[in-house]
Chains A and B, each alone.
Chain A
Amino acid sequence: MRDVAIIGIGMTKFGELWEKSFRELGIEAGLKAIADAKISGDLLDALYVGNMSAGKLIEQEHVASLIVDYSGYASRHLPAVRVEAASASGGVAFYEAYLAVASGLYDFVMVGGAEKMTDVGDAESNRELCATADNEWESIFGATYASLFAMMARRHMYEYGTTEEQMAQVAVKNHRFGSKNPLAHFRNTLTLDQVLNSSPVATPIKTLDCAPVSDGAAALVLCPWDHARKFTDTPVKIAGIGLATDTIALHSRRDMCTMDAVVRASSRAYHMAGVAPKQVNIAEIHDCYTIAEIIEIEDLRLVKKGEGGKATAEGVTDMGGRVVVNPSGGLKARGQPAGAVGIAQVVEIVEQLRGEAKERQVQGAEVGLTLNIGGTGATAFVSILKREN
């Protein structure tokens, strides 16, 4: 296996992009990644696309071929693969693309993620999202993701004394970060009171504890580490990756307050990278609900189990803290186009490691981590990225 570098990144604005179609978004992100990598698109050997529900949300399946076609590469008959793993589709596509380059099968691979979620109404997009939970044992009985994460939050409050204020702090922090991200869905800041007084969705989760549904796309260009310097002075190395699964239904888990898939995926990634959790400077993680960020920083062992809420309130994950979490604004503020999330997380870490994140720049960032989960944690993908001078 060879080392793999990221040499190009590209991302569209995230948000309610009513004027742009799915294919336009995918191509925009891809073109930006190619331009950033300063390569010709003709060099690409393959394409991987993470996408959760185009079939249901825009009634378009077969999206890998679609994007190859509309990128002008149909005549080259480029290999293209669509990967689906709920909201971890982008992360798992990245995992597959990494393997393809590391194995030596391909040299230059584009991996993207795209989702168009606002062409349907709120009820419909919620229904499609719920199709990624256990339909026979959860969704069909009326469980929504808000209600499932609400149960996790309740248990976490009971077990560890986590408070609604601590959860609200996640939203306040991530919106402050998002306000500095020109591509974020939401660029407004929030106060603690605004979050705490927003209308209840599934108690204790309130409207402003939830990430939105968004449209958007993100893309990366990967190549063997040995070639990377030919294209960029600031290649970022994929130092470790880890993929893990767990029971799809929340009620079958060993512990409702721990995402075992996150523990396993991160163990694999830390081990492969030779990195200890305390060495991670920045992390882009899956804050689909504020409680998710609290549980995940624990399960990634960035903080002690049970102390996620307290650590958040104390600023451990804020700018200037020990590990800056979601400097992009996270799913909460940057937005949540499901299939694009895992790729957008990598885009942010690469920008940070290159020192190109402008107002959002975390000084001295050397080791970054991404965590992309599917469902309530039935899939977890972790990557560890490093700057190597």
Chain B
Amino acid sequence: MVGIVSYGVYVPRYRITPAEIGAVWGIDGKAYGESLGVYAKSVPGPDEDTITIAVMAARNAMKRVNVNPKEIGAIYCGSESHPYAVKPTATVVAEAIGATPDLTAADYEFACKAGTAGIQTCMGLVKSGMIKYGMAIGADTSQGAPGDPLEYTASAGGAAFLIGTEHVIAEINRTYSYTTDTPDFWRREGQMYPSHGGRFTGEPAYFRHVLTCAKNLMKLQNTTPESYAYAVFHQPNGRFPRRAGKMLGFTDEQIKQGLLTPYIGNTYSGAVMLGISSVLDVAKPGDRILAVAFGSGAGADGFDITVTEEIKEYRRENAPLVKYYVENAQQINYAIYTKFKHQIILREE
């Protein structure tokens, strides 16, 4: 049995509302936020980045299990906002949780689905017997150009999954990916902010990949939406995952627990892994979860997951739940946001 042995999350505490952002750009931000289904987005503090988020999530995952970090044979860290262009995030995490030096580590990038790509790699390595445990992390401090529609949703957060075969709390029954070359969203080397194809990011990118991936996975597994207690879809805003779910035949009730974007924004590589974590925070043995991550460029990773009896013994309480991070929020205004983003030019020392 291959699956999730432990998970941990982290979301920065600061929040900014669409109304606050809109006021700067002469837009009715409140109405815009409502149209996107987003009420606030998380903002990293001035000393937080993808590495600190990844480390926090990884430490939280390790607090919940009695696993010797030296038994972790691989760490993959997925993000589109790795602080270094050259030098891995994954090595910092490995050092921070005491997994070094007998392991392999690397950073992944596939827009918002680099973290789930890491889960798949870990599954393969664990299943083949090459490693005992693998850790996959999805974390981001995503960028949206000032004034761009993305600025209202691009947020920060991450989750870490420990993948293994013993004491599995949630078995991954199958993973399936659907990938094409679809240029809906990109950022070239050296550019500060990503570019996107506007409405092209919808139908031909997000919906085509998420819907096809979900349908094909359910076909392979001979399941229907009714087979699942929960469904988690990539959530660039509050509307897309609800619409995708509805188109596939899922109810809002199935989607609600894993839908975090309305409260913390789009955490990119963290989004679906945080959504799954939120579900695992409340799931009972036997609950089945369908999760589909989407990464621009473009591809979707689907996971058919079943929660096991092990979750009863699992010590969720050893680290904060998703709910804690969502609710432990401190509102900031655009001036503080600008300062936190290091965009105020300070006097040279």
Interface residues of A (CB under 8 A from B): 16, 18-19, 118, 121-122, 199
Contact = CB atoms under 8 A, between A and B. Distances in A.
A199 B197 contact: no
A18 B203 CA distance: 9
Contacts of B199: 16, 118
A119 to B, nearest CB: 9
Given A18-B203, A18-B204, A122 B198 contact: yes
Top 8 A-B pairs ranked by shortest CB distance? Answer: A18-B204, A121-B198, A122-B198, A18-B200, A16-B199, A121-B197, A199-B28, A18-B203
A289 B58 CA distance: 55
Contacts of B204: 18-19
A18 B31 CA distance: 29
A66 B94 CA distance: 58
A56 to B, nearest CB: 17
B85 to A, nearest CB: 26
Nearest to B204: A18
Contacts of A199: 28, 31
A121 B203 CA distance: 15
A147 to B, nearest CB: 15
A199 B200 CA distance: 21
Nearest to B195: A121
A336 to B, nearest CB: 15
Contacts of A121: 197-198
A118 B200 CA distance: 9
Interface of B: 28, 31, 197-200, 203-204
A119 B204 CA distance: 12
A121 B204 CA distance: 15
Contacts of A19: 204
A199 B29 CA distance: 12
Contacts of B203: 16, 18
A19 B28 CA distance: 34
A121 B200 CA distance: 9
A132 to B, nearest CB: 22
A18 B204 CA distance: 8
A294 B260 CA distance: 47
Contacts of B198: 121-122
Contacts of A18: 200, 203-204
A129 to B, nearest CB: 16
14 contacts: A16-B199, A16-B200, A16-B203, A18-B200, A18-B203, A18-B204, A19-B204, A118-B199, A118-B200, A121-B197, A121-B198, A122-B198, A199-B28, A199-B31
Q: Which interface residue of A18, A122, A199 has the most chain B CB atoms within 10 A?
A: A18
A174 B81 CA distance: 46
Contacts of A122: 198
Contacts of A118: 199-200
Nearest to A199: B28
A122 B148 CA distance: 13
A227 B6 CA distance: 80
A49 B28 CA distance: 43
A199 B204 CA distance: 26
Contacts of B28: 199
B122 to A, nearest CB: 35
A309 to B, nearest CB: 27
A196 to B, nearest CB: 14
Contacts of B197: 121
A18 B180 CA distance: 15
Contacts of B31: 199
A19 B204 CA distance: 9
A122 B198 CA distance: 8
B25 to A, nearest CB: 13
Nearest to B27: A199
A16 B207 CA distance: 15
Given A16-B200, A118-B199, 12 more contacts: A16-B199, A16-B203, A18-B200, A18-B203, A18-B204, A19-B204, A118-B200, A121-B197, A121-B198, A122-B198, A199-B28, A199-B31
Contacts of A16: 199-200, 203
B180 to A, nearest CB: 12
A122 B201 CA distance: 13
Nearest to A19: B204
A295 B197 CA distance: 35
A122 B315 CA distance: 50
A356 to B, nearest CB: 31
B114 to A, nearest CB: 25
A121 B197 CA distance: 6
A18 B201 CA distance: 11
Nearest to A125: B198
A57 to B, nearest CB: 14
A200 to B, nearest CB: 9
Nearest to B197: A121
A211 B203 CA distance: 20
B206 to A, nearest CB: 13
A212 B62 CA distance: 53
A19 B182 CA distance: 11
B161 to A, nearest CB: 35
A359 B197 CA distance: 36
A293 to B, nearest CB: 25
A19 B203 CA distance: 11
Nearest to A124: B198
B198 to A, nearest CB: 5
A39 to B, nearest CB: 36
B241 to A, nearest CB: 22
B279 to A, nearest CB: 33
A154 B341 CA distance: 42
A16 B200 CA distance: 9
Nearest to A121: B198
A17 to B, nearest CB: 11
Contacts of B200: 16, 18, 118
A91 B68 CA distance: 76
A384 to B, nearest CB: 38
A121 B201 CA distance: 11
A118 B204 CA distance: 13
A269 to B, nearest CB: 38
A122 B195 CA distance: 13
A18 B198 CA distance: 13
B36 to A, nearest CB: 13
A61 B266 CA distance: 41
A122 B31 CA distance: 21
B144 to A, nearest CB: 16
A199 B198 CA distance: 18
Nearest to B196: A121
A76 B199 CA distance: 41
A79 B197 CA distance: 38
